[in-house]
Amino acid sequence: MTLIVALACKNGVVLASDGSAAGFAREFKRAFFVSALSCKINPLGKNILWGASGSVDIIQTIEAEFEELPSAMKDKSLHDLALRKRIKDIHRRCVTNAIKHQREMGVKNEQLIGAELLLVSNDVNQADPIKIWYIGSLRNYFVEDDGCSVIGDGTFYAQMSLLSFRLNLTSLKPRSKNLSTEQGCLVAHRAVKDAIEAGCGIVGPPIDIWVIKDKEKPKMLTVNEKEKLDKAYVAWQEEEVSLLQKLIP
């Protein structure tokens, strides 16, 4: 299963994910779940990061087709219409073929597994440089955003975490752009961590976090950087408890 959080900040964009995976068991004609390490965030050229939720088979096929894109096209940003069209076409074709195969195997409509994508880019040459782009799972529809977005089976738990920080309400999303990417990393880390700590069994460690800052290539946080975030996460929780005790002794 999957949880991916995208957060636009004042000097870049953050993309975070959990580390569990799901696939389709042909012999049982249903989904099965794998508790294993799974890298869910990947760079697409120099300016884009993308993550996906859904069928591992579909996501791997999409990833392979992304790799085959011309280098000149991959190095564009999400502002490039030609690149966006290619991404849409790849997603539509891969999902359509996979769903057709699942139906041929006798999978019921309510058990079909597609794949949804979350792509982010930061193009400093644009007046509105940061883009978050969502592509739906079974139906090929698209949403642009400039605040924060969440996809995957752990969405509800992450949204509850973001709600406490007033970041997942439409009218309040621009608040995220008051955060630095360093602060954004902690907020995104907390959203994923809270979902894992909820013990829902559908998302799990490790947490991966990527950042695109102005005029810099996408970067994945190191183990040491993530350990610092985890300590900050604990300190944040302790501060909230302390504040509650001060407000209501």
Structural domains in the chain plus CATH codes: 3-221 (3.60.20.10)
Mean pLDDT rounded to a whole number for the chain: 82
Angstrom distance (rounded) from CA 168 to CA 174? 10
Higher pLDDT, 201 or 180: 180
Higher pLDDT, 107 or 33: 107
Task: Judge whether residue 27 has pLDDT over 50.
Answer: no
pLDDT for the residue numbered 125: 64
Supply the pLDDT for residue 51: 93
Q: What is the pLDDT of residues 170-190, one digit of tens each?
A: 444 545 677 889 999 999 999
Residue 170's pLDDT is 47
